[in-house]
């Protein structure tokens, strides 16, 4: 059985941020009453590496953002223009030193 995560993550019938860049939704834990988002799956198959991933990536990104201004140059994150699916390997960023 395959659970297609974008079916849940980009469902505008249940999520008002389905097609917008909304990192603030992760500031509070989601409750069981909310529409599910499951980047690391859930239940018995949940990714055992999730805490390692979140620790490493958040620290990695924090270090970059602390030192540089980062601009996404390859895609638009404007509402309505986000692609339905995204090949992470096509992302390109420009890093500049803060003024
Ligand atoms: C962005 C990084 C990652 C994402 C998005 C991710 C996502 C997932 C997802 C969705 C599953 C469940 C697949 C399913 O339902 O069958 C899974 C399983 C798993 N992940 Fe990750 N993962 C990531 C990184 C890692 C890392 C770094 C490790 C190890 C250090 C890891 C180890 C595993 C293992 C061992 C399973 C299988 C768990 C099982 O079947 O009991 N993952 N991951």
pLDDT tens per residue, range 2-28: 878 888 888 999 999 998 888 899 899
Span from the CA of 53 to the centroid of ligand 1 (angstroms): 9
Average pLDDT of the residues of the chain: 90
For residue 34, what are the domain limits?
5-96
Q: Is the CB of 41 under 6 A from ligand 1?
A: yes
In total, how many domains does the chain have?
1
- The predicted pLDDT at position 4 comes to 82
Whole-structure pTM over 0.85, yes or no?
A: no
Cα of 74 from ligand 1 centre, angstroms: 27
Ligand 1: residue whose CA is nearest its atom 19: 47
Q: Report the percent of the chain where pLDDT is more than 70.
A: 100
CA distances, 34 to each of 4, 8, 52 (Å): 18, 11, 25
């Amino acid at each position: 059985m395959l659970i297609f995560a974008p079916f849940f993550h980009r469902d505008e019938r249940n999520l008002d941020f389905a097609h917008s860049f909304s990192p603030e939704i992760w500031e509070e834990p989601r409750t069981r009453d909310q529409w599910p988002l499951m980047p690391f799956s859930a239940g018995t198959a949940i990714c055992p590496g999730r805490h390692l991933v979140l620790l490493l990536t958040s620290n990695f990104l924090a270090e970059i953002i602390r030192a540089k201004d980062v601009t996404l140059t390859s895609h638009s994150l404007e509402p309505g223009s986000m692609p339905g699916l995204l090949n992470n390997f096509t992302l390109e960023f420009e890093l500049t030193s803060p003024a």
